[in-house]
Amino acid sequence: MKFFLDTAHIEEVKELIETGLVDGITTNPSLIAASGRDFKKVIAEMCELVAGPVSAEVAALDHPTMLKEGRHLAKIAPNVAVKVPLTLDGLKTCRVLSDEGIMVNVTLCFSAGQALLAAKAGATFISPFIGRLDDIGHDGMQLIEEICLIYNNYPDIETEILAASIRNPLHVIAAAQAGAHVATIPPKVVHQLLKHPLTDNGIATFVKDWEKTGQKIINKK
């Protein structure tokens, strides 16, 4: 499974990129608004930090303007994935951009039917929103499973399932078990995945026992 960071904060990316865990980045208007920074500058900086896809979302809702914005965003860097909403106009835009060789992330997917349409429109990524479905009493992970089942039935589908709206480590694990190609994860959830009390306890024990030996691996000169 590939890990994308769901963030618009450069420092969060820099902190985690050295681990080799970051395969790409997703942003959205809400994340950009929270960062308080210029949208295109953030995207350009992100694209320099990671070799993988960086999702940049269009703001328009009509096809002609979406297409103009998408082409403009794609010029920022070769690894920009233009993000469009799962609407008829969004799918029209997806088709054109995809045919032009531009990566497209179709976002705000809430049904398997929508995911099938996005694949037919040539989407590079489909972004089903797990957490938002959970919020209204639906099983978000069931959607991931349904899309995986459908896509696996057709080997010619190249669209990657990008599990989005991830709220906790269990979402990541369940998405991986279901077969999602990518999980886009808030940095805080990456840190939650990393932590375990038994790991912390084990480290504390090893440090204590090592100190008892009085040894040093590297002696200071």
Helix (H) or strand (E) holding 90: helix 88-99
Residue 2 known to be catalytic: no
Alpha-carbon distance 189 to 127, whole Å? 18
Beta bridge partners of 3: 183
Residue with tokens 């369940």: 174
- Which backbone phi and psi does 28 adopt, to 5 degrees? -155, 170
Contact partners, residue 216, CB within 8 Å, separation at least 6: none
Kindly name the residue from 14, 68, 83, 92 that is annotated as catalytic.
83
Contact partners, residue 213, CB within 8 Å, separation at least 6: none
Give the angle 91-96-97 at the CA atoms, nearest 5°.
95
Burial call 37-57: b when 16+ CB within 10 Å, e when fewer? eebeebbebbbeebeebbbbb
Alpha-carbon distance 77 to 4, whole Å? 17
- Residues recognised as catalytic: 83
